[in-house]
Amino acid sequence: MVALVADGLSNREIAQELGLSEHTVKKYLFRIFDKLGISSRVELVLYAFSHGGARDAEWVAGASA
């Protein structure tokens, strides 16, 4: 899901991509934000880049997990 956020997809687009409801995506992102102590999608992507290791190259290339 984080890779899709990094690709710039909206909650609705992420839901369609993953076969989930938009509400479920919002709930998952809220829980991720809460657990990591962050408050925005930008912070989530920055956190992922700084902690993601090899996944960074995939995100920069535009791959969607």
Give the pTM: 0.75
Residue pLDDT, tens place only, 39-48: 999 999 899 8
Tokens of 61: 């290339």
Residue pLDDT, tens place only, 11-59: 999 999 999 999 999 999 999 999 999 999 999 989 988 887 545 555 5
What DSSP string runs through the chain?
A: -HHHHHTT--HHHHHHHHT--HHHHHHHHHHHHHHHT--SHHHHHHHHHHH-TTHHHHHHTT---
Domains of the chain: 2-60 (1.10.10.10)
